[in-house]
């Protein structure tokens, strides 16, 4: 059974809480990194759940659903959401860029000092926050329909 929309929303808010955390300034760099990483995990969950739900509504795409059901990730999800008209070309490009930045960030997490890593994580978090929120709302609407 997949996570409830309430659980997904709680995780999303947890990422935001990490980003906005101000109690101990010396911990702020780590909080921004945690916020970005949690946000990307939540985003991938939103994208894959949304994509699978939409594919289930399309009997003409049954073979694709069967293939996706066993291994469905960020890249396939954004391709499907774009193909199905759920996201615009601009949103597709933003999500693809974010995917590439996420991978670059994760694979090079320790290549820079903590301050630089934190700054980059905070920028990526900020750039994608609105889009993540919109996709979460879209998933919520789809689940209610």
Q: What is the pLDDT of residue 80?
A: 94
pLDDT of residue 7: 83
Per-residue pLDDT for 71 more than 80? yes
User: What is the value of pTM for the model shown?
Assistant: 0.82
Contact 18, 31 (CB under 8 A): yes
Over the range 37-74, which residues count as b (16 or more CB within 10 Å of their CB) and which as e?
A: bbbbebbbbbbbbbbbebbeeeeebeeebeebeeebeb
- Residue 92's pLDDT band (cuts 50, 70, 90): very high
pLDDT at 105: 83
Q: Is 83 exposed, middle or buried (0-12, 13-18, 19+ CB in 10 A)?
A: middle
Structure-token pair, residue 7: 């659980």
Q: What is the pLDDT of residue 87?
A: 93
Mean pLDDT of the chain: 86
The tokens of 73 are what?
């990730």
Residue 29: pLDDT band (50, 70, 90) is: confident
User: So what's the pLDDT on residue 23?
Assistant: 62
């Amino acid at each position: 059974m997949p996570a409830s929309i309430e659980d997904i929303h709680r995780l999303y808010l947890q990422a935001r809480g990490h980003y906005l955390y101000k109690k101990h300034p010396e911990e702020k760099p780590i909080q921004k990194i945690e916020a970005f990483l949690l946000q990307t995990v939540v985003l991938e969950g939103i994208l894959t759940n949304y994509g699978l739900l939409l594919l289930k509504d399309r009997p003409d795409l049954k073979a694709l659903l069967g293939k996706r059901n066993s291994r469905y990730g960020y890249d396939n999800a954004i391709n499907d959401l774009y193909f199905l008209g759920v996201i615009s070309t601009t949103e597709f490009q933003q999500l693809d860029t974010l995917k590439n930045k996420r991978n670059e960030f994760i694979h090079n997490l320790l290549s820079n000092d903590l301050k630089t890593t934190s700054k980059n994580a905070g920028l990526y978090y900020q750039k994608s926050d609105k889009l993540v929120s919109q996709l979460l709302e879209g998933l919520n609407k789809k689940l209610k329909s």
